[in-house]
Amino acid sequence: MRYPRDFLGYGPNPPHANWPGGANIAVQFVLNYEEGGENNILHGDAASEAFLADVVGAAPWPGQRHWNIESMYEYGGRAGFWRLHRLFTERNLPVTVYGVATALMRAPEQVKAMLDADWEIASHGYKWVEHKDMPEDAERNQIAEAIRLHTVATGARPKGWYTGRCSLNTVDLVSEEGGFAYISDTYDDDLPYWRVHNGKPQLIIPYTLSANDMRFVTASGFANGEDYFQFLKDSFDCLYAEGEAGAPRMMTIGLHCRLAGQPGRFQGLKKFVDYISGFDKVWVPTRLAIAEHWAEHHPYKTPELQPSKMNRETFIATFGGVFEHSPWIAERAFEGELSPGNDTATGIHFALQCQFRMATEAERLDVLKAHPDLAGKLAAARRLTEASTAEQASAGLDALTDAERETFTALNTAYVEKFGFPFIIAVRDNTKSSILEAFKARLENTREAEFETACRQVERIAELRIRVLFGEQP
């Protein structure tokens, strides 16, 4: 079974963004232009719009126009857009527009203003409607039509994409369409990342709903512009400090003409723009500029090992020997739930370790018995596995004096007689002397305690072997 969701991402060590000018943060403003692309029976839709407008508890009206909702959307084109346009052009701040294709076709003056300001105009889909129940072929056709109309309206094909009210298939379908420097239908990171679909990498630049002005008209959202400013400021301060500490991030602010374009809300946005102007190491780009920067500085690299993508034969061949002579552990892990979170040394060790821990006591005992004696007869006869040979050599157990060998032989014999399985220790974590000390100390344990100790050592040995496979220093 393969679980597709990725809860790991970059993990504890994200790449250094290396933003231009050594910036601690990339602050990116998105203006969603949806007015004229929303649900409306004039547009051939079944009902009126009810999403992201100042009507509390609005619901679609089947077969009817909703005059109040329509006029609120019209405010965005008539007044809100121009208020936001003045702010960003006066401050000479780059903006990315998410333009709904049918909305752009109904906004000639606004489109000209966007182009004159040299704003990036990315695609926001064909219409501002819900896609969750849309058949794949229908959505695929709408993607193609969005690109066609966008090109007609702006004079250029869009290089960025964000549907917003997307389906489970949207990102895959847009990736398959191709030709996009980035897709933004995710909210899962503070940095861009590469996503592979059908063997091809696609850059993803995550978007935001938390720092989005849509929260002015949603439950538990922003009550006023001051609330919005404070949230944006706190977000900026956190990310700026992380960048100053050596981990630069990206911050996106999502805006709508009919929402942040309202005077009281606008003042909070303006205050934030004034605030960040007081910082030196801030890069304000378009999303396309971020995509081009990331592609240059962090191009896609195929991982050497991706356990969750392996077929059964390759998986067993790669990890079947991690637990000594016990390939059944890898077999069970393969049949279990593997995900992108298992594509690291820690992740795949966790998957194998869980199978070992879920095994019966008799099965785990067999794993213990599969381990060779330290510096025993198998080592002398050079019949250890390659991994065991390297491990014992790392602690100098392949070069014992006659006296040391006699000591190890006596200890091995006493240990097996008492516990019924060989003494097991992660030799890469130890020296010859510390191994001898542990040998003597653990002979004093009860069998129950020693069984658990030996099992934990088996898990540690497996972890070290996996790290070698991943090219990490054990």
Please write the tens of the pLDDT for every residue from 250-262.
999 999 999 999 9
What pLDDT score was predicted for residue 395?
53
Kindly report which listed range (38-52, 241-255, 271-285) carries the lowest average pLDDT score. 38-52
Residue range 28-49: mean pLDDT, rounded:
95
**CA 378 to chain CA centroid, nearest Å:** 46
**pLDDT band per the 50, 70, 90 thresholds, residue 392:** low
What pLDDT score was predicted for residue 474?
65
Residue range 323-351: mean pLDDT, rounded:
96
Residue 143 is which amino acid? Answer: I
Please check the confidence at residue 405 and state whether its pLDDT lies above 90: no
What would you report as the CA-atom Rg of the chain, rounded to the nearest whole angstrom? 30
SS3 97: strand
Residue range 225-241: mean pLDDT, rounded:
97
Residues 6+ apart with CB under 8 A from 150: 99, 101, 104, 121, 123, 157, 158
Start-to-end CA distance of the chain, whole Å, equals 30
Please check the confidence at residue 399 and state whether its pLDDT lies above 70: no
Q: Which residues are annotated as catalytic?
A: 371
Residue range 55-81: mean pLDDT, rounded:
93
Nearest partner of 190 among 205, 175, 202, judged by Cα: 205
Buried b (16+ CB within 10 A) or exposed e, 398-431: eebeeeeeebbbebbeebeeebebbbbbbbbebe
Please check the confidence at residue 344 and state whether its pLDDT lies above 70: yes
What pLDDT score was predicted for residue 433?
86
Q: Where are the beta strands (DSSP E) in 218-368?
A: 249-256, 282-283
**pLDDT band per the 50, 70, 90 thresholds, residue 380:** very low
What Cα–Cα distance (Å) separates residue 33 from each residue in 45, 106, 255? 19, 11, 9
Nearest partner of 175 among 165, 163, 187, judged by Cα: 163
CA–CA gap between residue 223 and residue 232 (Å, rounded): 14
Contact 23, 281 (CB under 8 A): yes
Beta bridge partners of 97: 31, 121
**pLDDT band per the 50, 70, 90 thresholds, residue 381:** very low
**pLDDT band per the 50, 70, 90 thresholds, residue 220:** confident
Kindly report which listed range (116-125, 245-254, 427-436) carries the lowest average pLDDT score. 427-436
CA–CA gap between residue 134 and residue 8 (Å, rounded): 30
Beta bridge partners of 193: 204
What pLDDT score was predicted for residue 378?
44
Q: How many residues are recorded in the chain?
A: 474
What pLDDT score was predicted for residue 384?
52
**CA 183 to chain CA centroid, nearest Å:** 14
Contact 100, 34 (CB under 8 A): yes
pLDDT: is 112 or 404 the higher one?
112
Residue range 233-261: mean pLDDT, rounded:
97
What pLDDT score was predicted for residue 342?
96
Residues 6+ apart with CB under 8 A from 341: 6, 7, 8, 347
Residue range 261-271: mean pLDDT, rounded:
97
Helices (H), 178-286: 225-244, 263-276
Residue with tokens 């094909």: 157
What pLDDT score was predicted for residue 409?
85
What's the predicted TM-score (pTM) here? 0.91
Kindly report which listed range (110-114, 216-220, 233-237) carries the lowest average pLDDT score. 216-220
CA–CA gap between residue 283 and residue 290 (Å, rounded): 10
Phi-psi sector, 26: left (phi>0), alpha (psi -120 to 50), beta: beta
**pLDDT band per the 50, 70, 90 thresholds, residue 134:** very high
Contact 294, 14 (CB under 8 A): no
**pLDDT band per the 50, 70, 90 thresholds, residue 394:** low
What Cα–Cα distance (Å) separates residue 184 from each residue in 17, 144, 189, 268, 381? 18, 17, 11, 25, 60
Residue range 70-99: mean pLDDT, rounded:
97
Buried b (16+ CB within 10 A) or exposed e, 167-185: bebbbbbbbeeeebbbbbb
